[in-house]
Amino acid sequence: MDLTQYIRDIPDFPKKGIIFKDITPLLQDKDAFKYTLDALYEKAKDMEIDYIVSVESRGFIFGAPLADRLGCGFIPVRKPGKLPYLVVDFCYEKEYGEDTLCMHQDALTPGSKVLIVDDLLATGGTTQATAGLVEQLGGEVVGILFVIELNFLKGREKLPKYDIESLIQY
C-alpha cells in the first residue's frame, strides 16, 4: 500500500514556512491505519523490548496499539504539567522553537529495553529528547520507528547511535 496517498500537506502550519504532514487521512482510513500498524509490528516483532515509549500526542496513536500487539508496556512522554507523578525532564530545540518533554521518574528500571515509536522524524530534537529521558533513567534504546521521515531535515544526523526505521520518507 502506498501510504503517501494518505498524508496531506498543510502549508504554513504551525507557522509560516513549515509544511505540516497531516496523518489524519491515514487514521480515517481503516485499511491504511491497519496497514501502518501491521508494518510497524513487522519491523518490531523480533526485537527484545520491555517498553514502547511514545511522545504525545500523535506518537500515542501508533505506540500504544503497537505495545499491545507486542505484549509489552507503554510509556507516555508528555509536555510539562501533563503527568500526575514525579517526572524527569529534557529541554530541546525543535524545528519551530524550544520545548520540554517529561516522563515519570519510575517509568522504567535500569536496563529496560525500549523501542521509541513516533509519527514523524523531522529535525530529530524530539526523538533526541525522548532517548535522553530513557537513558537518564538507565534504559537502553534498542530501536526507533517512525511512520514518516523528512530526510531533507536530516534528523537522523542527531541520532547516529540509534537503529532508525521509517515507513515513509520524503
Query: Which DSSP string do the residues of 16-53 spell out, in sequence order?
Result: TT-EEEE-HHHHHSHHHHHHHHHHHHHHHTTS--SEEE
Query: What is the domain extent for residue 160?
Result: 36-169
Q: Is the pTM for the entire model greater than 0.75?
A: yes
- Assigned domain for 145 exists: yes
> Does residue 68 sit within a domain?
yes
Residue 126 lies in a domain: yes
In a domain, 59, yes or no: yes
CA distance linking residue 111 with residue 145, whole number of Å? 20
Tally of structural domains, the chain: 1
Is the residue at 81 inside a domain? yes
Give the catalytic positions in this structure.
Answer: 58, 95
Domain CATH for 77? 3.40.50.2020
Let me know if residue 6 belongs to a domain: no
Answer yes or no: are the C-beta atoms of 58 and 23 closer than 8 Å.
Answer: yes
Q: Per the domain annotation, does 11 fall within a domain? A: no
CA geometry: angle 124, 130, 132, nearest 5 deg:
100
Structural contact between residues 101 and 77, judged by C-beta atoms closer than 8 angstroms = yes
Q: Where are the beta strands (DSSP E) in 29-125?
A: 51-55, 73-77, 87-94, 97-104, 113-121
Residue-level pLDDT, tens digit, the chain, 170 residues: 999 999 999 999 988 998 999 999 999 999 999 999 999 999 999 999 999 999 999 999 999 999 999 999 999 999 999 999 999 999 987 666 789 999 999 999 999 999 999 999 998 999 999 999 999 999 999 999 999 999 999 999 999 999 999 999 99
Helix 30-44 / helix 58-70 crossing angle, nearest 10 deg? 60
Residue 18 lies inside a defined structural domain of this protein: no
